[in-house]
Structure 1
Amino acid sequence: MSRIQANLLLTLIALIWGSAFVAQSHGMQELGPMMFTGLRFLVGALVVLPLAWREWNYLAGRQLALNRDDGLKILGLGMLLTLGAAMQQIGIKYTTVTNAGFLTALYVPLVPVLGWLLLRQLPHWSVWPGALACLVGAFLLSGAQSLEIGLGDSWVIASALPWGLHVLLIGRVADRMAAPFLVACGQFFVCGLLALIWGLLFEPFSGAGIQAAATPILYTGILSVGVAFTAQVVAQRYAHAADAAIVLSSETLFAALFGYWLMGDRLAPAGLAGCALILGSLLVVQLLPLLQPAKTSSEVLPIK
Structure 2
Amino acid sequence: MKSTRLTPRISKAEAVLILITVIWGGTFLLVQHALTSSGPLFFVGLRFAAAASIVALFSLRILRDLTLLEFKAGVFIGVSIMLGYGLQTIGLQTIPSSQSAFITALYVPFVPLLQWLVLGRRPGLMPSLGIGLAFAGLMLLSGPNGASLNFSPGEIATVVSAVAIAGEIILIGAYAGKVDVRRVTVVQLATASVLSFLMVVPTGEPLPPFSWLLVISAVGLGAASAAIQVAMNWAQKTVSPTRATVIYAGEPVWAGIAGRLAGERLPAIALLGAALIVAGVIVSELKVRAKAAVEEEKGRGEALSEAD
- Calculate the TM-score normalised by the size of structure 1: 0.71
**Inter-partner Cα distance in structure 1 for 2:134 and 2:22:** 22
Is residue 108–residue 282 contact of structure 1 (8 Å, CA) maintained in 2?
A: no
One-letter code aligned to 1:25: Q
Q: CA deviation at 1:80?
A: 0.6
- Name the counterpart of 1:271: 270
Looking at structure 1, the residues matched to 29 and 146 of structure 2 have their Cα atoms a distance apart, in angstroms, of 28
Aligned residue for 2:206? Answer: 204
Aligned residue among 6, 16, 25 for 2:32 = 25
Q: Does 1:49 align with 2:56?
A: yes
Unaligned runs of 5+ in 2: 1-9, 294-308
- CA distance in 1: counterparts of 2:122 and 2:265, whole angstroms: 39
3-state SS of the aligned residue for 1:148? coil
C-alpha root-mean-square deviation of aligned residues, in Å?
A: 4.1
Partners in 2 of 1:237 and 1:77 — Cα distance? 15
**Residue 140 (structure 1) aligns with:** 140
The answer (yes or no) to whether the contact 1:110–1:131 under 8 Å persists in 2 is: no
Deviations 1:95-129 (A, max 9, x none): 48xx96x9867645532222111100111123444
Task: For residue 160 of structure 1, report the CA deviation from its aligned partner.
Answer: 3.3
Q: 1:126–1:8: structure 2 CA closer, same or farther, 3 Å change rule? A: closer
Structure 1 residue 17 displacement after superposition? 1.4
User: Structure 2 vs 1, CA of residues 38 and 49 (structure 1 numbering), >3 Å: closer, same or farther?
Assistant: same
Q: Which has the larger radius of gyration?
A: 2
Q: Which moved more, 1:13-22 or 1:129-138?
A: 129-138
Q: Structure 1 residue 161 and structure 2 residue 168: aligned?
A: no
Deviation (angstroms), 1:44: 0.4
Residue 125 of structure 2 aligns to a residue in which SS? Answer: coil
Calculate percent identity across the aligned residue pairs: 28
State the Cα distance separating 1:268 from its structure 2 match.
2.0
5 Å-filtered alignment, 1:116-195, equals 116-144=116-144, 147-148=147-148, 159-176=161-178, 178-195=179-196
Check the 8 A contact 2:129/2:283 in 1, yes or no.
no
Query: In 2 relative to 1, CA 7–123 (structure 1 residues): closer, same or farther, beyond 3 Å?
Result: closer
Q: For residue 124 of structure 2, give the secondary structure of its aligned residue in structure 1.
A: coil
Shift of 1:75: 1.8
Task: Within 5 Å, give how 1:217-256 maps onto structure 2.
Answer: 217-223=218-224, 225-230=225-230, 251-256=251-256
CA contact (8 A) 1:47 1:227 kept: no
Question: 1:297 maps to which residue?
Answer: none
Aligned letter for 1:138?
L
Q: Deviations over 1:139-161 (max 9, x none)?
A: 32222168427999998776432
Kept in 1, the 8 Å contact 2:134–2:249? The answer is: no
Distance 1:189 1:28 in 2: 21
TM-score, length-scaled by structure 2: 0.70
Unaligned 5+ residue runs, structure 1? 295-304
Distance, in Å, in 2 between the alignment partners of 1:271 and 1:155 is: 25
Shift of 1:284: 2.3
Quick one: distance in 1 between partners of 2:124 and 2:19? 29
Aligned match of 2:260 = 260
SS at structure 1 position matched to 2:144 = coil
Distance 1:257 1:160, change over 3 A: same
1:48–1:181: 8 Å Cα contact kept in structure 2? yes
8 A contact 1:142–1:149 mirrored in 2: no
Amino acid at match of 1:28: L
- CA deviations on 1:215-242 (whole Å, 9 max, x unpaired) are 322221112x113444667789999xxx
Deviates more, 1:131-140 or 1:184-193: 131-140
Contact 1:137–1:276, Cα closer than 8 Å, also in 2: yes
How much has 1:49 moved relative to structure 2? 0.4
| CA-to-aligned-CA distance 1:65-119 (integer Å, 9 cap, x gap) | 512x5533322221111011224556788548xx96x986764553222211110
Query: Which residue number corresponds to residue 83 of structure 2?
Result: 83
- 1:4-19 pair list within 5 angstroms: 13-19=20-26
Count residues with an aligned counterpart.
273
Provide the residue aligned with 1:283 in structure 2. Answer: 282
Q: Counterparts in 2 of 1:29-40, with a 5 A limit?
A: 29-40=36-47
Partner of 1:302: none
